[in-house]
Amino acid sequence: MKTPLRHSRYAGDDQTTLEELLTEYLERTNILYYELLDHPITEIEAKKELLVHLSIYDACFATEQAASPSPVAPHRHIEVLVMPTHKVRDLLKLIRDGFGLPEDTPLRACEVVQHGTMIQRLIKEDAGLSRYWGTGTKSDPHAPEILVEQIPAYELLNDEPVVLETKDKQVKKESVVAVDENDVISDDDDRPMWFYKGVVHFNFQNDSRKWIHPHGVPCIVRFSERDTVGDVKERIRQRMGISLDVFAQWNFSLVKDLKASTLQAVYDDMESEALDAFPMSRLTDLCGAEFEGLGNLGLEHADPTPPPRHHSNRRLETGIHIRQS
């Protein structure tokens, strides 16, 4: 097979004519392929590839294969080509444009490990992306990747009450003013200090009641020390769209690295109703004054979705959309 001419030989060349190019080209092959691009090919080749996981709990990322959010939907991810100078805000804009979302759709990026199943931290919009280039091709479970989710409505509401459901009744709780996202946030002494933590699905490894195997798709939950354990659990349940009966069978846990303790095991002398009324502020005795010793909140339950035999990817580029199956 003859070696085709590469455009790079003529990059920046304003002397070679089209006739000269075709003459040399025809010495190697008699077939000429071309494509009209929205951007210079040199710019496209300079781009870096990112594997981006998408939240399965947000309808804005629904596709033909997954028409609505589902807690048992398979992982969704896309490959995005970004410029080396792009920041997280540029990545979020590419995703909005690729899915046809309004410009004001509130999205955020999280750093995840364990192949997208466990959140490490929120990523600021002015952060660079070089840390995540090409990590989707690695088998290292500790390699950092990116998860994008839509910021839930309860974080954006100012004075609207949030309705929390229980099995017997609905309870209205007054929300407070939403503020910018960081791990710990407080506006003043009259407003609560917000904490943002990942929520990981997991089951214990073999007969261990300590080491975990994460699975499923995580999300971020916001809470304050004024919330009760029941408040936070209900917020997670509604975010994930889990039925009350199913969620009641899952064990709420505290996770650090790949080790977990269920709250019921820590406070084995308390009934479940009393544990739900337990204030989050009391957990600082276990997790540190500002929950710095807490990696994630956990939901212990069996993995409902065995690994699929085939994965479908969607590749997203600026100006170019390529579907793969």
Same domain, 212 and 265: yes
What average pLDDT score do residues 115-125 get?
96
Is 289 found in the same domain as 200? yes
Quote the CA–CA distance of 20 and 269 in Å, as a whole number. 85
pTM equals: 0.74
Identify whether residues 294 and 207 lie together within a single domain: yes
Tens of pLDDT, residue by residue over 91-115, are 999 999 999 999 999 999 999 999 9
Mean pLDDT over residues 247-267, rounded? 93
Residue whose entry in the numeric block shows the structure tokens 């909005």: 96
Q: Is the pLDDT of residue 323 over 50?
A: no
User: Is pLDDT above 50 for 37?
Assistant: yes
Residue 14 domain-assigned? no
Q: Please tell me whether residues 116 and 223 are part of one structural domain.
A: no
- pLDDT, residue 67, reads 46
Is the Cβ–Cβ distance between 153 and 161 less than 8 Å?
Answer: no
Q: How confident is the model at residue 163 (pLDDT cuts 50, 70, 90)?
A: very low
Distance CA(306)–CA(62), nearest Å, equals 21
Structural domain contains residue 185: no
Q: Is residue 26 one of the residues assigned to a domain? A: no
Q: What is the mean pLDDT of residues 22-42?
A: 74
Q: Residue 254 falls within a domain, yes or no? A: yes
In whole numbers, what is the pLDDT of the chain averaged over residues?
A: 80
What whole-number distance in Å separates Cα of residue 56 and Cα of residue 5? 44
Instruction: Kindly tell me if the per-residue pLDDT of 250 is higher than 90.
Output: yes
145 and 43, same structural domain? yes
Beta bridge partners of 112: 119, 145
Any domain includes 312: no
CA–CA gap between residue 100 and residue 116 (Å, rounded): 24
Domain co-membership, 248 together with 138:
no
pLDDT at position 76, please?
87
Q: Domain of 67?
A: 31-151
- Asked if 205 and 288 sit in the same domain, the reply is yes
Q: Quote the pLDDT of residue 303.
A: 85
Looking at residue 197, its pLDDT comes to 97
Distance CA 241, CA 247 (A): 10
Question: Percentage of the chain with pLDDT > 90?
Answer: 50
Higher pLDDT, 58 or 191: 58
Domain identity same for 129 and 65: yes
For the cut 60, the answer to whether the pLDDT of residue 70 exceeds it is: no
Which amino acid, 235? Answer: R
Instruction: Name the more confident of 146 and 43.
Output: 146
Same-domain status, 132 and 35: yes
94, 127, 151: which is the final residue of a domain? 151
| pLDDT band, residue 71 (cuts 50/70/90) | low
Q: Verify that 209 and 119 share a domain, yes or no.
A: no
Please compute, for residue 248, the number of CA atoms within 13 A of its CA located in the half-sphere on the CB side: 8
The pLDDT, as a whole number, for residue 41 is 74
Instruction: Specify if 167 maps to a domain.
Output: no
> Taking residues 117-140, what's their average pLDDT?
88
User: Domain boundary residue among 120, 151, 182?
Assistant: 151
138 occurs within a structural domain: yes
Total number of domains in the chain: 2
> What pLDDT digit, counting tens, does each position of 282-313 carry?
999 889 888 999 999 999 999 876 554 443 44
Specify whether 198 is located in the same domain as 133: no
Domain for residue 103, yes or no?
Answer: yes
Q: 144 with 216, same domain?
A: no
pLDDT at 200: 97
pLDDT digit string, tens, across residues 203-219? 998 777 889 999 999 99
What CATH number is associated with residue 81? 3.10.20.90
